[in-house]
Every structure is written in structure tokens, then in C-alpha cells.
């Protein structure tokens, strides 16, 4: 769920999470109980009703802080040392402070001054949230939060344009802790409800064998065709993305199978890793989960979640079309074979076995379409999943074990997600209290000069920069609160502006120099990370182009319904993707292409995908002419050979 994703394996590998097998019996019980509480608390309240915000959110965060102390090591100190005990103590004391907030918050509704002990408790709570985030891959958010707090306290010393009137320690702590505009703001609320439940939902599916069933289904579907393993990787990542929404989780679950298979049929290691990292990146833009960012986007924009899922469908299909076309052309050009028939599962059987893992997603989409709340919809989907599991003997016999594995995996997944959202709330609270958000928007407006083209480019670069080393949802929320309003003022529809920001936050996962997803795939393929990154960027080029297409022509998203112009834009974009793939692979379905002709296909693709009808029509006509010439060239070559 990250520019990097935030799945269970990512946390285990990147954060050094302690293995449950190494725990003593008591610690295992405590960790399991805390993990179960993190699931049942929002699950039950989602089905019934939530307690007051400043009761539910602090108690949820307290559970998360204690679990973090047990599951994630301090990293900067060896275990069982005074430093490790001190850092664990910060988490525990922060949890105690959060429980205190849940009991006394009503006493501070109109009280803006705090005593020294109260200030210390508030500071401990903030330090506990930062320590939680520091132990995960999203720790760069802490640096931004520290800068924001320093600005809140000392920003009055800065010049007028950058400064503010001043903020006392009491006022800062009160706004961060005793209101819903800081640590316990909207981001944490969404993380503690929708996103947390989705993390458990994905963990239940995975723990019950969902990933294996999806893999078997895609192998049966695409394994027999030319370059089958690469096509299996694409389809498996798309299906896994429907339930996980995490790029790195996809890579380490599907990649360990598909990358060796791709290498066996003739793909170079860096190409195999590039295909897998790019296909897994698409998991974050695959409905219905969208890397869990869709929930936050719905909350900020006020657009129903089901509508956001629908708008994200076309860019997702275009993204995977680009990868699939390049893989197909390369496979045909190099004469690659499919998988060994002995490795291909039976299609009928694998189709039946994958149904129980698809039905809960159907329930989810249906309930959202019927305008039920997201937390009720996801809670009902979890119930539907376990109901379906009871119908099969294999899943029924392992239900309890799979449930507890899912509970522990889901809790681990929640730690970086909730940590990043809590710290994002701190940053947004400072932006609101000091007016810095408005100043940043004003500065961006000055830099762009009110020019929509420069504004869009600045927004894309900002998303890419913030997304490096940060989960997607953190990068998205920080950019959304500053630049999205400016884009709307320039005439871009609200939801389209947010989708644009979201897509570039996602693409940062394979962008140098951090490119966590690329490193994960390269480690499996034993390939050079730089070469892998170049191939990943080539396969994912549409992920960088399509956002510019729909930001200039939102009708391609079918915003407001199907229109002839929207269909025309979609058709020309598909033609452009095909031409682009042919140029990159230097193969036209009929013949190998020389460099100059490959460059011509790329140029035609750019012309076709320009959001201008005249250019699109002209580019389509040129593409048709080029393809006709390629067909004639092939016929002449065959005649000469005969």
C-alpha cells in the first residue's frame, strides 16, 4: 500500500519484525490477543456504531503502540539492552497516555491550558506515535512531522510570507491531542476503520490460500501461451491486487514463482524482475482496494467510494494493457514458448477453487453500490468470506488456524499504515493551525504563475519526490491538502485532481533512487537493480502518461457517464499504447523493426494519445498506414522466400 506497499512480508523483511516463532508462550498469547482486538474493535463498531471519536481513536492507537513494542524491534539498539527498553517504554507510556485521553477528553473541550504533567503525557503520546512510525518503512514521515512541529513553535521568527502569528506549546499540544484536527484526525480515523479492516480482509484471503488459488487460476488461463510465465505474472498481480493492494507483498508472493519461470523460458533476469515489479505495482491502482487510498480519497472529496473505484478502472486496464502488449510482442519476437504442460493446473478445477476468494469482493462492491457505509461493507464482506470458507472441506478444517494467521498478518500490516496516517494527521494539523497549507498553496501558485500546465507538472514531481521511501497513502494525503485545491481552482474536477495525485504517488515505488519495489524483485531474480529499474520504467510508461491524459480530458474516465467523446478518447489511447509497445519492443506483430521505424511508432503513439481530437485522428490514420505497410512487407518477404 505504498509507494512501497505495506504488506506483511514487507514489514517482516524491511522492518526486521520479530518472528512469532521466536516468542515465548506468554508473548505469543499477548500478541495474538492484541491482534485480535485490533480486528474485533473496528469490526464490531463498524457493524453497530462507533463510540465518540476521542474515545475510539486513542484506544485503537494505544493497542497499536503496545503491539508495535512486542512485534517490531527498535533496530537502533540491540535487544534486551537499556536503549531497547527505553524505546519500548516510550511506546508503552504513549499507549497509557492515549488511554488517559480517552477518559478525560471531555474535560479539555474548552480548556486550552495544560499543567506540566498533562503536557508531559501529551508529549509522550506524540513521541510514541513517532517511535511506532520510526520502526517501519514509513519513518521519513517523522522528519516532516518534526519540521512541522518546529515550524509551529518557531515559525513566528520567519519573514511574513513564511511566518505565522505564533503558537504556544499549550495551544499546539491541545490542538494535536484534544481535537480531531491533529494526531486523532481524519487520516487516523480512516486507518482505524476502513483501512484497518481491509488489511485484515486481505490477510484472511492470503492466509486461507487465496494467493495460491489466484496463481493456479492464472497459470491455467495463460500459462500455455507464448511467454506464458510473464503473462501469468501480469494476471496474478492484477488479481492479487484486488485483495492486497500492496506492491511489495505482490512481488514477494507471486514473484518467487513467476520470476524463476520467466527465466526458465528465456527472459533475462532484469527483464523478468522488471515485469514482476511493474505488474505488482499495478496492484495499488486495481479496484476495489486501490492500496487503501480510495477510502481516504472518498473522505476528503466526498465522492462515493464506489464511484472512485469505477473511475479508477479504465486507467488500471490501460496500465495492464501496456505491460501485456510489451510482454506479448517480446515473446513472439523471441519465439518464447509457454509453460511446461505438466506445470499447468486444470482450468476447470482452478476456476472453481478461486470462486470463494472472488465472492467476498463481489459482496463488497455490491454493498458499496447500494450506498452502505465502507466499514459496514467491508465487515459484511469478511463475514461472507468465512461463510464461503465453511462450504469447502479444506478451508473449513483449517478455518481457526487460517483465522489466527490472518489476524497476526493483518495486525502487522496495520502498523505502518496506521503509523503513517497518525503522523500525517500531525502534519496536517500544523498546516491548519499555522496557515502553512495556504501559504504553500500560494507559493505553488506563484511558481506556476497560474499556468495549469506548470501546476500539473509541479504536482506530479512533488508526488514522486514525497513517495520515495513512503507508503502511497502518506504521499497522497500530504500533496492532496496543498495542491488539489489549486488544481480545482484552475478548472480540474475535484476527483480527477485527486486521482492524478494518487497515480503519481503510486508510480514513485519504481522511480529511482529509492524504488523499493524494484529492489524486492531484483533480489528474487538476482539481477542488477539499475537495469531492472530501467525495464520497470519501460513497462510502466503508461502509468506516467495516462494521468496526463485524463487530467486534460476527464471524459476518458467516463466521468458523468458514457459519452461518444469518452469512447473515442479511450479508443485512441488504446491505439497509442499498442503503437508505443511496438516501438519499445521493436516488433510490429509482423516484422522486427529497425531503430528508425521503432522511433516512428513511438512518435505516432505520442501524437495519438495527445488529448486533441484532430491530432488523435491523424495519428490513428498514420498508425493504420504503418501497419498496412508492415503487412505488405511481410507478404513480400514470404513471396521472396517461396
Indicate whether 221 belongs to any domain.
Answer: no
The count of structural domains within the chain is: 1
Residue 251 has pLDDT above 70, yes or no: yes
Q: Is the peptide bond before 288 cis (omega within 30 degrees of 0)?
A: yes
Q: What is the pLDDT of residues 390-445, one digit of tens each?
A: 877 777 777 788 888 888 888 888 888 888 888 888 988 888 888 877 777 777 77
Residue 86 has pLDDT above 80, yes or no: yes
Q: Which of 134, 14, 117 is nearest to 69 (CA)?
A: 134
On the CB side of 596, CA atoms within 13 Å amount to: 0
Predicted pLDDT of residue 512: 65
Q: Is the peptide bond before 614 cis (omega within 30 degrees of 0)?
A: no
Q: What is the pLDDT of residues 275-316, one digit of tens each?
A: 888 888 877 888 877 766 777 888 888 888 888 888 888 988
Collect all residues with Cβ–Cβ distance below 8 Å to 607 and sequence separation of at least 6. 615, 616, 618, 619, 622
Indicate whether 359 belongs to any domain.
Answer: no
Indicate whether 270 belongs to any domain.
Answer: no
**What Cα–Cα distance (Å) separates residue 610 from each residue in 358, 496, 553, 569, 613?**
37, 18, 10, 9, 8
Predicted pLDDT of residue 265: 73
Indicate whether 431 belongs to any domain.
Answer: no
Provide mean pLDDT across the span 341-350.
Answer: 80
Lowest-confidence pick of 154-163, 343-352, 460-469: 460-469
Q: What is the pLDDT of residues 470-503, one digit of tens each?
A: 667 777 887 888 788 888 888 889 999 999 988 8
Q: What is the pLDDT of residues 352-373, one digit of tens each?
A: 878 777 888 888 888 888 888 7
Concatenating the DSSP letter of every residue in 245-302 gives --HHHHHHHHHHHHHHHHHHTT--HHHHHHHHHHHHHGGGGSTTTGGGHHHHHHHHH-
Backbone angles phi, psi at 592, to 5 degrees: -70, 150
pLDDT above 70 covers a percentage of the chain that reads 92
Provide mean pLDDT across the span 85-109.
Answer: 91
User: What pTM was estimated for this model as a whole?
Assistant: 0.80
Predicted pLDDT of residue 92: 93
Indicate whether 264 belongs to any domain.
Answer: no
Indicate whether 605 belongs to any domain.
Answer: yes
Provide mean pLDDT across the span 168-172.
Answer: 89
Collect all residues with Cβ–Cβ distance below 8 Å to 394 and sequence separation of at least 6. none
Of residues 468 and 536, more confidently modeled: 536
Cell numbers of 4, please? 512501497
Q: How far apart are CA 352 and CA 356, in angstroms?
A: 8
Confidence band of 19 (pLDDT split at 50, 70, 90): very low
Provide mean pLDDT across the span 377-395.
Answer: 82
Provide mean pLDDT across the span 508-520.
Answer: 70
Predicted pLDDT of residue 468: 64
Place of cell 503536557: 119
Lowest-confidence pick of 64-73, 121-130, 192-201, 250-259: 250-259
Provide mean pLDDT across the span 102-119.
Answer: 87
Full domain range(s) for residue 581: 567-642
Q: Which of 150, 1, 145 is nearest to 476 (CA)?
A: 1
Residue 630 has pLDDT above 70, yes or no: yes
Predicted pLDDT of residue 11: 34
- The separation between CA 27 and the C-alpha centre of its own chain, rounded to angstroms, equals 31
Collect all residues with Cβ–Cβ distance below 8 Å to 220 and sequence separation of at least 6. 344, 345, 346, 347, 350, 351
Indicate whether 492 belongs to any domain.
Answer: no
What is the pLDDT of the chain when averaged over all its residues?
Answer: 82
Q: For the CA atoms of the chain, what is the radius of gyration?
A: 25
> What are 587's strand-pairing partners?
592
Q: Which of 254, 298, 305, 245 is nearest to 275 (CA)?
A: 254
CB 590 within 8 A of CB 632: no
Q: How far apart are CA 107 and CA 608, in angstroms?
A: 63
Indicate whether 417 belongs to any domain.
Answer: no
Q: How far apart are CA 133 and CA 68, in angstroms?
A: 9
Provide mean pLDDT across the span 245-268.
Answer: 75
Question: Taking the C-alpha atoms of 361, 363, 365 and 367 in order, what is their torsion angle to the nearest 10 degrees?
Answer: -150
For residue 587, the 8-state DSSP code is B
- Write down the H helix ranges in 22-135: 25-47, 53-71, 82-104, 116-134
Amino acid at each position: 500500500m505504498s509507494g512501497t506497499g505495506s504488506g506483511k512480508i514487507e514489514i517482516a523483511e524491511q522492518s526486521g519484525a520479530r518472528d512469532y516463532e521466536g516468542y515465548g508462550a506468554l508473548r505469543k498469547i499477548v500478541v495474538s490477543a492484541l491482534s485480535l482486538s485490533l480486528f474485533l474493535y473496528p469490526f464490531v463498531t463498524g457493524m453497530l456504531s462507533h463510540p465518540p471519536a476521542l474515545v475510539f481513536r486513542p484506544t485503537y492507537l494505544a493497542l497499536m503502540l503496545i503491539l508495535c513494542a512486542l512485534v517490531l524491534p527498535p533496530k537502533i539498539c540491540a535487544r534486551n539492552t537499556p536503549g531497547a527498553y527505553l524505546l519500548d517504554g516510550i511506546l508503552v507510556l504513549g499507549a497509557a497516555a492515549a488511554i488517559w485521553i480517552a477518559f478525560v477528553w471531555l474535560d479539555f473541550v474548552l480548556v486550552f491550558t495544560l499543567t506540566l504533567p498533562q503536557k508531559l503525557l501529551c508529549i509522550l503520546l506524540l513521541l510514541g506515535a513517532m517511535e511506532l512510525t520510526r520502526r517501519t518503512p514509513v519513518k521519513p514521515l517523522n522528519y516532516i512531522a518534526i519540521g512541522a512541529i518546529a515550524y509551529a513553535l518557531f515559525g513566528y521568527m520567519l519573514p511574513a510570507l513564511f511566518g505565522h502569528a505564533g503558537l504556544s506549546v499549550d495551544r499546539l499540544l491541545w490542538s494535536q491531542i484534544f481535537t480531531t484536527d491533529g494526531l486523532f484526525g481524519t487520516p487516523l480515523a480512516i486507518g482505524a476503520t476502513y483501512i484497518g479492516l481491509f488489511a485484515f480482509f486481505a490477510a484472511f484471503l492470503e492466509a486461507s490460500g487465496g494467493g495460491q488459488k489466484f496463481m493456479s487460476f492464472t497459470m491455467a488461463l495463460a500459462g500455455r501461451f507464448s511467454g506464458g510465465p510473464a503473462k501469468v505474472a501480469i494476471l496474478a498481480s492484477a488479481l492479487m491486487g484486488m485483495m492486497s493492494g500492496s506492491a511489495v507483498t505482490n512481488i514477494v508472493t507471486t514473484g518467487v514463482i513467476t520470476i524463476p519461470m520467466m527465466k526458465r523460458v528465456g527472459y533475462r533476469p532484469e527483464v523478468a524482475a522488471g515485469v514482476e515489479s511493474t505488474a505488482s505495482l499495478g496492484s495499488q491502482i486495481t479496484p476495489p482496494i486501490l492500496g487503501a487510498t480510495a477510502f481516504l480519497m472518498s473522505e476528503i472529496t466526498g465522492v462515493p467510494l464506489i464511484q472512485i473505484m469505477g473511475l479508477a478502472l479504465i486507467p488500471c486496464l490501460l496500465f495492464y494493457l501496456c505491460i501485456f502488449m510489451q510482454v506479448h510482442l517480446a515473446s513472439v519476437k523471441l519465439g518464447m514458448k509457454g509453460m511446461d504442460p505438466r506445470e499447468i493446473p486444470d482450468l476447470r478445477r482452478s476456476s472453481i477453487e478461486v470462486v470463494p476468494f472472488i465472492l467476498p469482493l463481489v459482496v463488497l462492491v455490491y454493498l458499496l453500490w447500494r450506498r452502505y457505509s465502507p466499514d459496514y461493507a467491508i465487515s459484511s464482506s469478511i463475514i461472507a468470506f468465512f461463510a464461503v470458507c465453511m462450504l469447502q472441506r479444506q478451508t473449513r478444517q483449517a478455518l481457526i488456524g487460517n483465522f489466527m494467521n490472518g489476524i497476526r498478518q493483518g495486525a502487522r500490516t496495520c502498523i505502518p499504515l496506521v503509523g503513517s496516517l497518525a503522523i500525517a494527521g500531525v502534519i496536517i494539523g500544523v498546516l491548519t493551525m499555522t496557515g502553512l497549507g495556504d501559504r504553500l498553496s500560494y507559493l505553488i501558485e506563484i511558481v506556476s504563475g497560474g499556468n495549469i500546465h506548470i501546476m500539473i507538472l509541479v504536482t506530479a514531481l512533488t508526488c514522486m519526490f514525497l513517495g520515495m521511501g513512503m507508503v502511497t497513502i502518506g504521499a497522497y494525503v500530504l500533496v492532496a491538502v496543498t495542491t488539489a485545491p489549486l488544481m480545482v481552482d484552475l478548472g480540474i474536477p475535484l476527483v480527477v485532481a485527486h486521482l492524478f495525485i494518487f497515480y503519481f504517488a503510486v508510480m514513485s515505488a519504481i522511480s529511482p533512487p529509492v524504488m523499493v519495489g524494484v529492489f524486492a524483485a531484483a533480489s528474487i531474480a538476482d539481477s542488477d537493480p539499475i537495469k531492472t529499474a530501467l525495464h520497470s520504467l519501460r513497462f510502466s510508461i503508461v502509468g506516467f502518461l495516462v494521468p496526463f491524459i485524463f487530467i486534460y480530458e476527464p471524459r476518458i474516465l467516463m466521468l458523468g457517464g458514457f459519452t461518444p467523446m469518452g469512447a473515442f478518447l479511450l479508443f485512441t489511447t488504446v491505439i497509442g499504447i499498442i503503437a508505443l509497445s511496438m516501438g519499445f519492443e521493436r516488433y510490429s506483430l509482423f516484422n522486427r523493426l529497425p531503430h528508425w521505424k521503432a522511433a516512428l511508432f513511438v512518435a505516432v503513439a505520442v501524437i495519438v494519445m495527445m488529448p486533441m481530437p484532430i491530432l488523435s485522428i491523424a495519428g490513428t490514420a498514420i498508425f493504420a498506414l504503418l501497419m498496412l505497410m508492415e503487412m505488405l512487407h511481410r507478404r513480400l518477404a514470404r513471396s521472396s522466400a517461396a
